[in-house]
Chains A and B, each alone.
Chain A
Amino acid sequence: MDSFPIIRVVTKLLIPYILLFAFYVQFHGDFGPGGGFQAGVILAAGLILYGLVFGLPALQQVAPPRVIEQLIALGVVIYAGTGIATMLLGGNFLDYEALKHHVLPGWLPEGQHLGIFLVELGVGITVTSVMTVIFYCFAGRESADGH
């Protein structure tokens, strides 16, 4: 897309705000609308926009396919791991009350807040990487008539 300077410039201007909005939706989901899934798809949309305009190799430098493939599993591990952690701390599976701690009260989230933060993070990571991987799968294929 070298021949579309307007698209390139506008994309470069927009992408930081798309990514910032994704992180806002992710980490502000406890207070405003949104959460892990919404943030994940917005982040992936930003990445895919970059790949569309600047080419697949450029995107694969930013988000290497091997790393993204492992992040798919990492998100689920974070989610389920939060559940296991609450069990190890003496609660039920995903019972965030067990996550109470007394380190820096008022500064670090604890209990329910910490649990929700962690599971939403897991959802966000999995959704972002699944969407990006699906894009890689489609965009990396050659056409059937070989052009």
Chain B
Amino acid sequence: MIAVDICILALLATTAVAVARIRNLWAAVMFTGIYSFLGASWMLILDAPDVAFTEAAVGAGISTVLMLATLALTSREEKPIKKFPVLPLLVVIVTGSALVYGTLDMPRFGDPTAPVHTRMDPGFIEKSEHDMHGEMPNVVTSVLASYRGYDTLGETTVIFTAGIAVLLILRKPPKRKTNAAFGQEQEGSHG
């Protein structure tokens, strides 16, 4: 398994560098899709299949399509950089070092004494079977939808609000009828 871990992490790093280096935006979007798919594989290795579903569907699928749709409306080449950007490089180095420094204090992966396993009430796992009358073997679902149902209602409202906001900003006026179907635009941009 170690070999698989190293392979996926190395591919993740390579893809990230490729996304940053490449000037052709269409290729960059494809690389972000690959990055998300590798991320989904990584989540699967970390035993989080539900996060992997989401990453694969949203990251590799939907957001790639949305970025391609945006590219069809704008340019496909990034403008060349005239001079070497010193200040952004400094900011990135400082932020990156701070993040790496932060990981030094974190508990080892899978450590049973880590705060995340002891501080949050471990009783959820013990109580869930009884509270759910034995009908809900998946503790994640019972925590998200029942114990913390109010939080999840808030999250659903956030998604609702985001959808309404996108509609308000991007929706065409209903009267004007366009015939520019997405499929045709795609073909046009493929050339």
Contact = CB atoms under 8 A, between A and B. Distances in A.
A1 B141 contact: no
A96 B184 CA distance: 49
Interface in A1-57: 1, 3, 25, 29-35, 37-38, 41-42, 44-45, 48-49, 51-57
Contacts of A140: 172, 178, 180, 182
A85 interface: no
B188 to A, nearest CB: 6
Given A35-B141, A37-B54, A116-B136, A135 B180 contact: no
A131 B135 contact: no
B144 interface: yes
A52 B182 contact: yes
B133 A112 contact: yes
Interface string B122-165: 00000000011101111011101110011011011101101110
A48 B157 CA distance: 23
Given A42-B57, A126-B160, A133 B146 contact: no
A29 B141 contact: yes
Nearest to B57: A41
Interface residues of A, number: 63
B184 A111 contact: no
A98 interface: no
B137 A54 contact: no
Contacts of B54: 37-38, 41
B187 interface: yes
Majority secondary structure of chain B interface residues (helix, strand, loop or mixed): helix
A33 B49 contact: yes
A55 to B, nearest CB: 4
B20 to A, nearest CB: 24
Given A34-B50, A45-B62, A69 B153 contact: no
Interface in B54-74: 54, 57-58, 61-62, 65-66, 69-70, 72-74
B11 to A, nearest CB: 22
Interface in A77-103: 79-80, 83, 93-94, 96
Nearest to A124: B156
Nearest to A115: B146
A133 B163 contact: yes
A113 B152 CA distance: 16
Nearest to A117: B145
Given A52-B65, A113-B136, A141 B153 contact: no
The 10 closest A-B pairs by CB, nearest first: A130-B163, A139-B182, A55-B183, A137-B170, A138-B69, A41-B57, A33-B49, A94-B149, A45-B61, A38-B53
6 contacts: A30-B137, A35-B140, A55-B182, A116-B141, A134-B163, A141-B170
Interface of A: 1, 3, 25, 29-35, 37-38, 41-42, 44-45, 48-49, 51-57, 69, 72-73, 75-76, 79-80, 83, 93-94, 96, 109, 111-113, 115-116, 119-120, 122-123, 126-127, 129-131, 133-135, 137-144, 147
